[in-house]
């Protein structure tokens, strides 16, 4: 599903973000990526959906080798993934429904399919009754649920979440985690970068800890392991 072999990433300004990472994430896994700020978590995550390109080594995601992927195949890779961000990245002028359907429009789905699939995922994230709302009329947790709905609407095999609870209060965060677990239970691989110690310690999953651009710990049922 996701494989990294001796991956290095040096930014043009000389910052060495990733310094030799080997990792393999299998289908259906739920993985936390933890580590202090500036440890390379973000770069690690961004390389999975090819926002960043590895300087060296192989990154293989859903069969695409991201070191060599052609520009025109990047959209195909991204359609096989769902990505959720800390800042939600919703379009403020579009309704909840439109924000989600957007992801299907760009891949030219039929309108009937779009409608059916959007309503289905809005049901999963429990926002069916707010389909006509604009993002600013929703709470932070609700906005993140819209973003999750958008990420999973084209039934990706991998869901990548970069600090999905970073902007949310604890109660809301639990709600988001519940949804992510539910998605994982349906067979979707979930990779989640997080700073949230309580969540990692309570909902025990595989934990990959990154420090100084290397994996310093990879536990099948690990805890957060950092005092913050």
Q: Which stretch binds other proteins (CB under 8 A): 12-20, 67-75, 119-127, 138-146?
A: 67-75
CB of 91 to other proteins, least distance (A): 6
Does position 44 interact with other proteins (CB under 8 A)? The reply is no
Phi, psi (5° rounding) for residue 171?
-60, -45
**Binding characters for other proteins, 94-133, by CB under 8 A (x = yes):** --------xx-xxxx--x----------------------
The tokens describing 146, both together, are: 């819209």
DSSP string, 34-77: E--TTSSHHHHHHHHTTSS--SEEEEEETTEETTT--GGGHHHH
CB of 160 to other proteins, least distance (A): 10
Q: Which residues, 6 or more positions from 132, have their beta carbon under 8 angstroms from its beta carbon?
A: 95, 96, 97
Does position 91 interact with other proteins (CB under 8 A)? The reply is yes
Does position 228 interact with other proteins (CB under 8 A)? The reply is no
User: Which of 30, 32, 44, 49 is in the footprint of other proteins by CB under 8 A?
Assistant: 49
Partnered with residue 31 across adjacent β-strands are: 191, 206
């Amino acid at each position: 599903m996701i494989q990294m072999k001796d991956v290095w990433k040096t930014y043009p300004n000389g910052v060495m973000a990733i310094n030799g990472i080997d990792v393999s994430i299998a289908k259906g896994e739920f993985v936390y990526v933890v580590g202090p700020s500036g440890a390379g978590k973000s770069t690690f995550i961004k390389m999975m959906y090819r926002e960043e390109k590895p300087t060296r080594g192989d990154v293989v995601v859903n069969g695409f080798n991201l070191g060599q992927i052609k520009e025109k195949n990047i959209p195909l890779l991204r359609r096989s993934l769902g990505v959720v961000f800390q800042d939600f990245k919703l379009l403020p002028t579009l309704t909840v429904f439109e924000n989600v359907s957007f992801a299907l429009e760009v891949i030219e789905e039929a309108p009937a399919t779009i409608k059916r699939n959007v309503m289905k995922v809005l049901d999963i994230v429990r926002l069916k009754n707010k389909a006509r709302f604009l993002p600013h009329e929703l709470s932070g947790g609700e906005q993140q649920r819209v973003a999750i709905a958008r990420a999973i609407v084209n039934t990706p095999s991998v869901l990548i979440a970069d600090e999905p609870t970073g902007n949310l209060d604890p109660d809301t965060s639990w709600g988001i985690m519940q949804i992510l677990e539910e998605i994982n239970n349906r067979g979707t691989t979930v990779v989640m970068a997080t700073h949230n110690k309580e969540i990692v310690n309570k909902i025990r999953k595989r934990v990959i800890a990154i420090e100084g651009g290397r994996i310093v710990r990879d536990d099948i049922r690990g805890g957060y392991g950092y005092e913050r």
